[in-house]
Amino acid sequence: MKKLLLGGLGLAFLGLLGGLYHGATCPTDPAPRTAVEGYLRAMQGRHFEDAYEYVTAKMTDGRPRAEWATLQAKMFEMAAVKLADPDVRTAHRAATNRFQCAPVATVPNVLRAADVLNNQGSTEFELYTVILDNGHWRIDTQETLFEEARIHEWFPHDEIPAYKGTAPTDP
């Protein structure tokens, strides 16, 4: 009887330690960051059908893959969008309790891009909200930060570049 009681207490203790460990790993889970990296690399390479895998219906306005990918391709072509390599940062993911991680994370990214309206290029500080959707991490929203205080909150060691303006396009 004593062995059974000690064995039960040992299992309960191991379960508690496992739960504490699991909760401690929430902020270091690489999966939300990997989803944002996959999306941005697909967009950079103009592989819009692949990028669709990384976004929720909210991000596509409920459009089917082919329609959404076609619209993205048109927008990138008309605006002459050029994306530099993504600079995706560590995801911020909380534990809902000692045993479970929240099914949502915030993933910061520094986007460097140029387009027809900003041919000098710009640096944008972005926050992606990534959710666990049917067992896959997908981007649900994207927010571009403009206020310096918010930028410094999420990107404390980054310098905010001065606005360069747009270079003349006519010779």
Instruction: Give the model confidence (pLDDT) of 63-76 as tens digits.
Output: 999 999 999 999 99
Q: What is the mean pLDDT of the chain?
A: 86
* Domain 30-154 grouped into CATH 3.10.450.100: yes
Confidence of residue 117 (pLDDT cuts 50, 70, 90): confident
**Cβ atoms within 10 Å of 106's Cβ, excluding its own:** 17
**Per the structure block, which two tokens stand in for 11?**
């299992």
Confidence of residue 21 (pLDDT cuts 50, 70, 90): very low
**Per the structure block, which two tokens stand in for 52?**
């669709």
Q: Where are the domains of the chain?
A: 30-154
Local structure of residue 60 (DSSP, 8 states):
T
- Segment 86-104, tens digit of pLDDT: 999 999 998 888 888 999 9
Query: Is the distance from CB of 107 to CB of 127 less than 8 angstroms?
Result: yes
Q: Which amino acid is at 108?
A: P
**Per the structure block, which two tokens stand in for 121?**
């290029």
149/146 Cα distance (integer angstroms):
9
User: By C-alpha distance, which of 138, 167, 154, 25 is closest to 89?
Assistant: 154
How far apart, in Å, do the first and last CA atoms of the chain sit?
92
64/51 Cα distance (integer angstroms):
13
CA 160 to centroid of chain Cα atoms: 20
- Looking from the CA of 111 toward its CB, the CA atoms found within 13 Å total 24
Q: Compute the average pLDDT of residues 127-151.
A: 96
pTM above 0.85, yes or no: no
Q: Quick one: pLDDT at residue 19?
A: 41
Q: Quick one: pLDDT at residue 22?
A: 40
25/133 Cα distance (integer angstroms):
20
